[in-house]
Structure 1
């Protein structure tokens, strides 16, 4: 059974607003929420600074701020369900760089495409990305 990634309206708007504000650089962050049998619910999108050497072409979450974001989510009773980043000039699909740098098996990677004004979601299996349907609640 393919689980749907259900993103709260607030989480979706946070990701989209940050992508616009950060352009032409990629922005990134941590997704918090919960898992059910039928879906993964994204309740929060916590922005984390992008510290990549080439922020226009890739992202790297600031390690200290990433840890703080994860702790904040856990204190609110949420679990880390994934990560997000933007593609200011590209599609809402994982790039070769995204595939090479994915590190959290069973995490959802959400990509915000500014040209398409859309989001796409992929589950990282530890070996490859599997596209997942997205709902905005």
Structure 2
């Protein structure tokens, strides 16, 4: 696949993960788009799907090899786990943890907020309990 087409399809994958169904995401990955690709803003498909709570898309991307701990948005968005925790998307949090997401990985290169802090601030009790059980921590970074 040439570079221009790869760039276009990469942007399209992030858009599909954010706004469309799992079928479009599957078709793009099958066409050769890397599930870890970022768009021009640094957004990853996994982050885009996690923030909206798109459980099927998150599962597909993880099964296709998307890394659950990659920070999205050049430190303007965060990790998929933080995104899902902030919005109380417990099913997505569960999937990310099952695929190896680090429960206490902080955003902003380790200096920002943890998934547990986001879940607590959003008053998402079920998500808080799930993160605590997985070893999540909310202490301030040292």
TM-score bracket relative to the smaller structure: under 0.3
Larger Rg: 2
Q: Compare relative contact order (CA 8 Å, sep 6+) and give the higher one, 1 or 2.
A: 1
TM (normalized to structure 1)?
A: 0.28
